[in-house]
Amino acid sequence: MDPTQVSVTTFDQCAEQYQTRYMDVTAYAPALDQFCAALPAGPARVLDVGCGPGNVMRYLTDKRPDLQFTGVDLAPNMLALARHNCPTATLRSLDCRNINQLSGPFNGVLCSFCLPYLDQPEAAALFRHAWQLLAPGGVVYVSTMEGERARSGWQTSSSGHRVYTQYYPAPILLELLSAQGFALIALHRQTFHRPDAPPDQDLLLLARKP
């Protein structure tokens, strides 16, 4: 059973429910606002990796209408919602493991909750590709569920939908970013309460390409 395909199918089938639950990203406003402020003035280019229904792009567009977004996702229904929510964004069906197929440079790269669906070598490759796509001075935003690697495994919702979720402790991600050459700007933590499961601690990192 391919964890990626199972997860993509789940997100595609649950796109509307996902939008209802997660479209409001104001809980992450401090980190997102810091990312926004770190971008250069003018029409900066931003890549949203695993854009989902466009929730983060929509929030940042409201802050900075001049931003030029490219969003990628593998779930067709997520992309359909993103087209509605972010009509000015360029959207593509693309695996986040293949963003090296895109043309840069970008001033910012958003990796908002795509790491839970990547193993550690894939996460390292994502940071390498982000580095390659970023202009000098560009900023990467990373959000994920914090936890020991041993917690990783299949999770099943109350409706029976399954995803394979990868957890990362902060030191591993900080090491991966540093090894690629990124300089840490900020680290945020946010408790996320879920109605059908114990709360998660979300980890949010901002780092710059010198």
The confidence score (pLDDT) of residue 196 equals 64
The confidence score (pLDDT) of residue 197 equals 64
List the 45-49 sheet strands across, edge first: 90-93, 68-73, 45-49, 106-112, 134-146, 197-208, 183-194
Q: What is the pLDDT of residues 119-156, one digit of tens each?
A: 999 999 999 999 999 999 999 999 999 999 988 767 77
Q: Within the chain, where are the H helices?
A: 3-13, 15-22, 29-38, 55-63, 76-85, 120-133, 170-180
Q: What is the pTM of this model?
A: 0.92
The confidence score (pLDDT) of residue 199 equals 75
Of the chain, the end-to-end C-alpha distance in Å amounts to 41
Lowest mean pLDDT among 2-6, 30-34, 91-95, 106-110: 2-6
The confidence score (pLDDT) of residue 109 equals 99
The confidence score (pLDDT) of residue 158 equals 62
The confidence score (pLDDT) of residue 195 equals 63
Lowest mean pLDDT among 41-45, 67-71, 170-174: 41-45
pLDDT above 90 covers a percentage of the chain that reads 75
Residues 6+ apart with CB under 8 A from 123: 115, 166, 168, 173, 176
Q: Within 153-203, where are the H helices?
A: 170-180
Q: Structural domains in the chain?
A: 3-208 (3.40.50.150)
Name the phi and psi angles at 93, rounded to 5. Answer: -85, 110
The confidence score (pLDDT) of residue 31 equals 98
